[in-house]
Amino acid sequence: MTENKAAAATPRGLRMIVALAGRRNAGKSSLVNAITGQEVAIVSEQAGTTTDAVAKPYELLPLGPVTFYDTAGLDDTGELGGQRAAASRKVLYRSDMVLMVVGEDGLTAEDKRIATEIKKLGIPLLAVFNKADKVPLRKEDADWCRGEGLEYIRVSAKNGENIAELKEKIVQTAPDEFKKDRPLAGDLINAGETAVLVVPIDLEAPKGRLILPQVQVLREILDKDAIAVTVKEERLADVLNNLKQKPALVITDSQVVQKVAEIVPEEIPLTTFSTLFARNKGDLPLMVKGAEKIDDLRDGDKVLIAEACSHHVQPDDIGKVKIPRWMEQYTGKKIAFDFCAGHDFPENLEEYALVVHCGACMLNRTEVMRRIRECAARGVPVTNYGVAISKLQGVLPRIIKVFYLLV
Ligand code: SF4
């Protein structure tokens, strides 16, 4: 497998997303080509050749897999152009890092406005003054970057000047979570200890494989030189009886957490895959606080069930059927459920008493945090499927206990 194929095969949620923003003809497409060493977008002297964001996976060492998004110009005009510019902005807000590419005209008022907005969202930003072969860097632009505390570099995509330095700067400016691995379960287990993973094989389980969160947790346990035993819930009691040493940890799929909590003795730490991911990619204390809001729900309250991608709805679908049913059973209230799938929350987010988000396995931490911040900024409590299910099944304190033992 080549490096780029390896990068492309890495799950989307683990790749760093770097978006290139800037005016039309600032040289964004040529810059992606210069960084990745490949032709990925049509490069033309004519402004506005890139119509939609073009994704290019690349292995940026020592960081790892990165996807560069070459976006349409933010100054695109006309009805279609305006739509393209709006779509480009959305890509920017979902990125882990933005390269603000500046062409011959220097920094414009719009570039500065976008840069300020991106900084406010806490997304690392690097100003890249392209076309160093044609124009010198303007003193006022360098002063503005320094005044804003913005890292900048002068490059030429055309003759390769400073492209290697730009890659180094991208690595230096990358968010910490891409430099340091945030643990899933690796800090909950020591080498030589055993973790039992409970994986139901039901109608919702994909044919012939485990799902990504299960595989990632399994891999981390093996990396830790610990032992992983994977079992269906029906066989869990047998496994616990047969193990010579008590497992250090049991991790279960949330959907069978209540049954598993009855089988696993109290003294064995127990948590769920979703809780591990809420901690790894999001903000576990905030998700727990959000789940506690279920106790305050009243008749007629609206709850938004949000999924990051669309999928075929199963008869007993977790988001569409089970969580609404369990929530009404738990609260005894008549709740109005709305559902959304995809990148954006509905405009009327404030109307919701609670947002229950999916496990976000396909999203990276920046995007999960962006969604959490959007809810927080609009005063809406947020939790995720797994944490909410543990609450609804009455086992939440036990599921999160293992993390407080770490502190
Ligand atoms: S809807 Fe959410 S949990 Fe399901 S696959 Fe998509 S990102 Fe993962």
Lowest mean pLDDT among 31-45, 87-101, 214-228, 234-248: 31-45
User: Which of 89-103, 228-242, 360-374 is modeled with the greatest confidence?
Assistant: 228-242
Question: How does DSSP classify residue 49?
Answer: -
Q: Are residues 159 and 142 in the same domain?
A: yes
Domain annotation covers residue 140 = yes
What is the average per-residue pLDDT within 187-205?
89
Q: Are residues 11 and 158 in the same domain?
A: yes
Lowest mean pLDDT among 26-40, 229-243, 250-264, 330-344: 26-40
Cα–Cα dist 304/352, whole Å: 6
Domain boundary among 125, 148, 179: 179
319 CA: nearest ligand 1 atom = 1
Residue 308 in contact with ligand 1 by CB distance below 6 A: yes
Domain annotation covers residue 164 = yes
Q: Is the pLDDT of residue 170 over 90?
A: yes
Could you tell me the two tokens for 111?
A: 């570039």
Domain annotation covers residue 404 = no
Q: Are residues 349 and 208 in the same domain?
A: no
Q: Are residues 159 and 292 in the same domain?
A: no
pTM metric for this prediction: 0.66
Mutate to test the pocket of ligand 1, among 277, 304, 309, 356 (most ligand atoms within 8 A of CB): 309
Q: Is the pLDDT of residue 41 over 50?
A: no
What is the average per-residue pLDDT within 9-34?
80
Residue type, 18: V
Domain annotation covers residue 400 = no
Compute the distance from residue 272 Cα to the ligand 1 centre, in Å.
Answer: 16
Compute the distance from residue 147 Cα to the ligand 1 centre, in Å.
Answer: 41
Length of the chain: 407
Closest CA to 102 of 155, 32, 140: 155
Domain annotation covers residue 405 = no
For residue 3, what pLDDT is reported?
35
For residue 244, what pLDDT is reported?
93
269-321 tens-digit pLDDT:
999 999 999 998 888 999 999 999 999 999 999 999 999 887 777 778 899 99
Q: Is the pLDDT of residue 105 over 80?
A: yes
Domain count, the chain: 3
| pLDDT confidence tier of residue 1, bands split at 50, 70 and 90 | very low
- Mean model confidence pLDDT for the chain: 86
Q: Are residues 210 and 105 in the same domain?
A: no
- Maximum Cα interatomic distance, the chain, rounded to a whole number of Å: 74
Q: Are residues 27 and 122 in the same domain?
A: yes
For residue 337, what pLDDT is reported?
97
Cα–Cα dist 143/136, whole Å: 14
Lowest mean pLDDT among 39-48, 50-59, 175-184, 263-272: 39-48
What is the average per-residue pLDDT within 95-117?
88
For residue 156, what pLDDT is reported?
94
Residue type, 52: D
59-94 tens-digit pLDDT:
887 777 888 988 876 566 666 666 666 766 777 777
Q: What is the DSSP string of 269-302?
A: -EEEHHHHHHHHHS-HHHHHHHHHGGGG--TT-E
What is the average per-residue pLDDT within 134-153?
93
Which distant-in-sequence residues (6+ apart) come within 8 Å of 151 by Cβ? Answer: 125, 126, 127, 145, 169, 173
Residue 307 in contact with ligand 1 by CB distance below 6 A: yes
Domain annotation covers residue 406 = no
Compute the distance from residue 309 Cα to the ligand 1 centre, in Å.
Answer: 6
357 CA: nearest ligand 1 atom = 2
Could you tell me the two tokens for 325?
A: 């049913």
Nearest CA to ligand 1 atom 6: 309
Q: What is the CATH number of the domain that holds 193?
A: 3.40.50.11420
Compute the distance from residue 75 Cα to the ligand 1 centre, in Å.
Answer: 33
Q: Are residues 127 and 43 in the same domain?
A: yes
Burial code (b: 16+ CB inside 10 Å, e: under 16) for 157-175 equals beeebbbeebbebbbeebb
Query: Residue 143: exposed, middle, or buried by beta-carbon count in 10 A (0-12, 13-18, 19+)?
Result: exposed
Which distant-in-sequence residues (6+ apart) come within 8 Å of 7 by Cβ? Answer: 15, 57, 58, 59, 64, 65, 66, 67
Q: Are residues 239 and 309 in the same domain?
A: no
What is the Rg, in whole angstroms, of the alpha carbon atoms belonging to the chain?
24
What is the average per-residue pLDDT within 214-242?
95
What is the average per-residue pLDDT within 35-62?
66
Q: Do 66 and 58 contact (CB within 8 A), yes or no?
A: yes
386-402 tens-digit pLDDT:
999 999 999 999 999 99
Q: Is the pLDDT of residue 262 over 60?
A: yes
Domain annotation covers residue 241 = yes
348-371 tens-digit pLDDT:
999 999 999 998 888 877 778 878
Q: What is the CATH number of the domain that holds 335?
A: 3.40.50.11410
Nearest CA to ligand 1 atom 3: 359
Q: Do 286 and 380 contact (CB within 8 A), yes or no?
A: no
Domain boundary among 150, 179, 208: 179
Residue type, 89: R
For residue 288, what pLDDT is reported?
94
Which distant-in-sequence residues (6+ apart) come within 8 Å of 354 by Cβ? Answer: 290, 293, 294, 297, 301, 303, 304, 380, 381, 382, 383
Compute the distance from residue 41 Cα to the ligand 1 centre, in Å.
Answer: 29
Query: What is the share, in percent, of the chain residues with pLDDT greater than 90?
Result: 54
Q: Are residues 111 and 260 in the same domain?
A: no
For residue 356, what pLDDT is reported?
97
| pLDDT confidence tier of residue 254, bands split at 50, 70 and 90 | very high
What is the average per-residue pLDDT within 37-58?
61
Compute the distance from residue 362 Cα to the ligand 1 centre, in Å.
Answer: 6
Q: How many CB atoms lie within 10 A of CB 10?
A: 16
362 CA: nearest ligand 1 atom = 7
Compute the distance from residue 358 Cα to the ligand 1 centre, in Å.
Answer: 6
Cα–Cα dist 226/394, whole Å: 30
**Ramachandran bin of 64, using left for φ above 0, alpha for ψ from -120 to 50, beta for the remaining angles:** left
| pLDDT confidence tier of residue 7, bands split at 50, 70 and 90 | very low
- Cα dihedral 296→318→360→353 (10° resolution): -20
Residue 345 lies in domain: 282-392
Domain annotation covers residue 236 = yes
Q: How many CB atoms lie within 10 A of CB 292?
A: 14
Residue 309 in contact with ligand 1 by CB distance below 6 A: yes
Q: Are residues 158 and 294 in the same domain?
A: no
Q: Are residues 30 and 126 in the same domain?
A: yes
Name residue, tokens 């610990």: 226
Domain boundary among 179, 208, 231: 179
Angle at 368 between CA 324 and CA 4, to 5 degrees: 125
Q: What is the CATH number of the domain that holds 18?
A: 3.40.50.300
Could you tell me the two tokens for 127?
A: 């100003």
Q: Are residues 136 and 231 in the same domain?
A: no
